[in-house]
Amino acid sequence: MDEFQTIPYEDFRKIISTVRTLRNIDFTYYAPEILMHRITRSMYMHGVQTSDRLINKLMADNYFADLFVSELFVPTTEMFRDYSMWKFLEDNIIEKLKNETLCKIWVPQVCGDDELYSLLTILHRKRILNRCTVYATSPIQKTLNDAKSGFIDQKKIEISTANFKKIDPEAELSHYLTKEDKYDYFSPELLNNVIFLKSGIESSPPPDNGFNLVLFRDRMLYMNAQTKKAVVDTIAKTICNGGFFVIGIRENLANCDFRNVFIPVSKSENIYIKIQK
């Protein structure tokens, strides 16, 4: 077996159904092509040869079930991915948010989470972190715990540092990291400003409303078109007028019909502002 091997569609449905029964997470909203690859990749990594064996293992082994479900979510790749977006966000959007007395920010579906750490870094650089309430949500407790721990894979440090240097050649990412037993962690001090909540964006109410900024990059890639539309609708309602919505650079809102709700602030960086309806 290799990680690209496909499984019959019936087995695919059975696996999704088992996950829903065991963990109350509905993966039918997921982009099927990618979900199929996530499942076969995980089976390959754990040496599980058949769908039946996978289902038996999921039902018999709680730890494995948690691990398997967390592996279906795609983790973030590095800090400051698409550094020109982060530069734009820091120089234009965060700069504007400095005028707010209090700022509410939401990072839905954390997984990794380099996006959250990058955001905290620039909020700190702009000296507004202490005036911000930052929510980080995920339906999976394990991914929340991972994000909360601040652990950063050693393999990501080099690229993250290079990206950060592109934003500010004088800046040092190491100032935001701590080392513990040879491992790198994102600054616990900055992470203390985050409220972590177990919540699925497609299944639970949002953690708050009146957000000034929602950072939701490269998460809609993994949703089918129908769910994507519903999720954008939910997010749109939580953002205050004049608040910002940031999505991944290859994502689009074209099929969501939100032209009357969001207008682009930067088309190339995919940053939108909510306008008065």
Partner 1 sequence: MYIVIGGSAGSFQAVTALLASIPRNYPHTIFLCLHRLKNVRGGFVEALSLKSNIPICEPYDKDTAMPGVAYLAPANYHMYIDANNQFSLSTEEPINHSRPSIDVTFCSIANTYKENAIGILLSGANKDGALGLKAIKDAGGTVIVQSPDECQVKTMTSAAIKITEVDYIMLTNNIIDYLKNL
Stretch touching partner 1 by CB under 8 A, among 55-63, 81-89, 127-135, 173-181: 81-89
Site for partner 1 in 160-189 (CB under 8 A): 163, 166
Name the residue nearer to partner 1 (CB basis): 34 or 197.
34
DSSP percent split of the chain into helix, strand, coil, nearest 5: 50, 20, 30
Site for partner 1 in 108-137 (CB under 8 A): none
Q: Does 83 participate in binding partner 1 (rule CB under 8 A)?
A: yes
Rg (CA), the chain: 19
Judged by DSSP in three states, 188 sits in helix
Site for partner 1 in 40-69 (CB under 8 A): 41
Measured over the CA atoms of residue 161, residue 94, residue 131 and residue 117, the dihedral's sign is negative
CB of 130 to partner 1, least distance (A): 31
C-alpha 74, offset from chain centre: 9
Measured over the CA atoms of residue 13, residue 225, residue 134 and residue 120, the dihedral's sign is positive
Stretch touching partner 1 by CB under 8 A, among 122-130, 159-167, 174-182, 238-246: 159-167
CB of 100 to partner 1, least distance (A): 31
Name the residue nearer to partner 1 (CB basis): 26 or 251.
251
CB of 154 to partner 1, least distance (A): 15
H-run or E-run covering 251: none
The residue whose two tokens read 């202490």 is: 130
Give the span between the Cα atoms of 44 and 48, in whole angstroms.
Answer: 6
Name the residue nearer to partner 1 (CB basis): 23 or 228.
228
What's the CA angle centered on 28, arms 27 and 29, to 5 degrees? 85
Binding site for partner 1 (CB under 8 A): 2-4, 6, 31-34, 36-38, 41, 74-77, 81-84, 159, 163, 166, 218, 220-222, 225, 228, 248-252, 254-255
